[in-house]
């Protein structure tokens, strides 16, 4: 991924029961703030964010997703009606285990992996990428407490320790646990939209500031 002429990119973020809240909300905030700031500066809105429920009935009460601690999201779309996206974010959390081996989700991930500009596996979202066969022969990072689980799930993956994020393939990135998804999203903003917008997002979010 390289910096390109300004254009609105659609970012799809998966949502499912027992997902880790910040895995979803962190990248959502980064890309949404980046879109706001680019637009406020008089340019094209750089990013538009939509949520994609790994459920049926998204956009209705029946499609509501309940993440860790009771955090709820009403997704904009389901896997079946998800629009074309430029970036796809796959969060992690305890709920990933129930989705391992889900043929519908795996097929969706494999299809979109060949279409998107960037595929971002956050935290144990890497397990879902591995389950879909997308990490074989690659290097990847996940939450440090799930490194052994990732290695067992996909013996052909090189599990990287101690990194906030790594490039897994030309169009795929994986990150460490929870807050690391923010760092990954910021890095992608920098790659696609330049350092100035990335720095403006960091300033707006007061990310990484000491007390």
> Would the pLDDT of 3 be above 60?
no
Q: Are 142 and 148 in contact (CB under 8 A)?
A: no
Q: Span 134-144, mean pLDDT? A: 97
Give the strand pairing for 158-159 and 139-140: parallel
- Rounded to the nearest integer, the mean pLDDT of the chain is 92
Burial 52-90 (b: 16+ CB within 10 A, else e): bbbbeebeeeebbbebbeeeebebbbbbeebeebbbbbb
What was the pLDDT predicted at 7? 83
Q: Are 144 and 151 in contact (CB under 8 A)?
A: no
Q: What DSSP string describes 100-157?
A: TT-HHHHHHHHHHHTT-SEEEE-TTHHHHHHHTT--TT-EE---GGGHHHHHHH-TTS
> Would the pLDDT of 128 be above 80?
yes
Give the CA angle between residues 124, 176, 141 to the nearest 5°.
Answer: 80
Q: For residue 211, what pLDDT band results from cuts at 50, 70 and 90?
A: very low
Please give the CATH topology (third level) of the domain spanning 9-197. Rossmann fold (3.40.50)
> Would the pLDDT of 56 be above 70?
no
The residue ranking higher by pLDDT, 150 or 60, is: 150
Over the stretch 75-126, which tens digit does the pLDDT of each residue have? 999 999 999 999 999 999 999 999 998 999 999 999 999 999 999 999 999 9
> Would the pLDDT of 19 be above 60?
yes
List Cβ neighbours of 155 (8 Å cut-off, separation of 6 or more): none
> Would the pLDDT of 179 be above 90?
yes
Residue located via tokens 């890095």: 187
Question: Global pTM?
Answer: 0.93
Length of the chain: 211
């Amino acid at each position: 991924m390289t910096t390109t002429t300004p254009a609105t990119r659609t970012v799809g973020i998966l949502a499912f029961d027992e997902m880790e809240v910040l895995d979803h909300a962190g990248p959502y905030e980064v890309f949404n703030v980046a879109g706001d700031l680019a637009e406020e500066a008089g340019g094209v809105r750089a990013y538009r964010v939509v949520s994609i429920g790994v459920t049926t009935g998204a956009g209705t009460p029946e499609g509501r997703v309940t993440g860790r601690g009771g955090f709820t999201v009403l997704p904009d779309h389901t896997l079946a009606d998800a629009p074309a996206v430029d970036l796809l974010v796959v969060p992690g959390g305890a709920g990933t285990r129930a989705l391992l081996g889900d043929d519908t989700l795996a097929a969706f991930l494999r299809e979109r992996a060949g279409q998107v500009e960037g595929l971002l596996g956050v935290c144990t979202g890497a397990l879902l990428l591995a389950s879909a066969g997308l990490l074989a022969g690659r290097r990847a990072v996940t939450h440090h407490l799930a490194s052994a689980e990732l290695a067992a799930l996909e013996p052909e993956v090189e599990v990287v320790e101690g990194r906030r994020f790594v490039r897994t393939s030309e169009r795929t990135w994986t990150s460490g646990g929870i807050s690391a998804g923010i760092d990954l999203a910021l890095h992608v903003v920098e790659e696609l939209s330049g350092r100035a917008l990335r720095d403006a997002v960091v300033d707006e979010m007061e990310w990484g500031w000491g007390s």
